Copies of this chain bind each other. A is one copy, B any other.
């Protein structure tokens, strides 16, 4: 029988728009909480966008994702999964960044996630911009490189911006490969599209063996075929899943800083996650939700729905 402590409040007891909004109405359990040692999956906010080179806002993502996530119910309507019964899930709160100091923020995040990992809690993070994934990987991949399944419209593999700036939301995976946090042969990037500066990122991917599946190939082959290849690439080893909301077409996810038209619809956005069943997921994130560009909350609601699907495959 599920532990009532780790059971989200039902909409039949407290209306879904009511109450202090934690992720999916889970208990708020910070490191010093007595039940923290029992947590198996930690939902964490990374309210930071200091790596953003274009339109800012993902620092507000965790707040709005929490808000919209209270509309999520207990059971996956399609698969029947009940993730909150399959694992002890909790809202660990937000990592505290330093909005005015990039390097300090990277350090604060790495320290936080190291503590999460030390407690054997698998993190499901709500960003934040995509640079947040770098300190997470530093904490999770300290001892061996991870595979990664990456949904995005950009590779985030650039070397640097603005005359040598090495840390932006366009460079995290270049750094992660350089630092040995990712095994490029076990990395696949899906949905890449939009105008490009040049071929530098794609050339790098080719040179290290990262598989890039552009959106044209995605639309031609379909979800099932692409995801089958993705599972093969990730293999049986420990794998991280990084989901940039700009993977999805901006009609479905307008609230993001660097949208690219021509992406998947919301059904495909969810299907790709369901196809992760069987992957050994050691952590996952949903990043780049930017509430200031998402007046209606639609993007955050889609983001919360994706987080729920991620939770289902992490506990499946």
Residues of A within 8 A of B (CB): 10-22, 28, 45, 47, 49-57, 59-60, 62-63, 66-67, 71-78, 80, 91, 93-94, 96-102, 104, 161-163, 165, 167-168, 192-199, 214-216, 219, 249-252, 254, 258-263, 265-267, 269-270, 292-293, 295-296, 298, 301-302, 305, 308
Contacts and interface: CB of A to CB of B under 8 A. Distances in A.
A295 B295 contact: yes
Contacts of A53: 11, 15-16, 99-100
Contacts of A67: 63, 67
Contacts of A47: 15, 17-19
Contacts of A295: 295-296
Given A53-B11, A56-B49, A162-B101, A19 B93 contact: yes
B261 A104 contact: no
Contact of A15 (B21, B54, B260): B54
Contacts of A52: 99-100
B77 A196 contact: yes
A165 to B, nearest CB: 5
- Copies of this chain, complex-wide, total 6
B99 A15 contact: yes
B196 A66 contact: no
A174 to B, nearest CB: 14
A63 B17 contact: yes
Given A13-B96, A252-B261, 15 more contacts: A15-B53, A15-B96, A17-B55, A17-B59, A17-B63, A18-B97, A20-B28, A75-B196, A75-B197, A195-B305, A250-B301, A254-B298, A262-B266, A262-B270, A293-B296
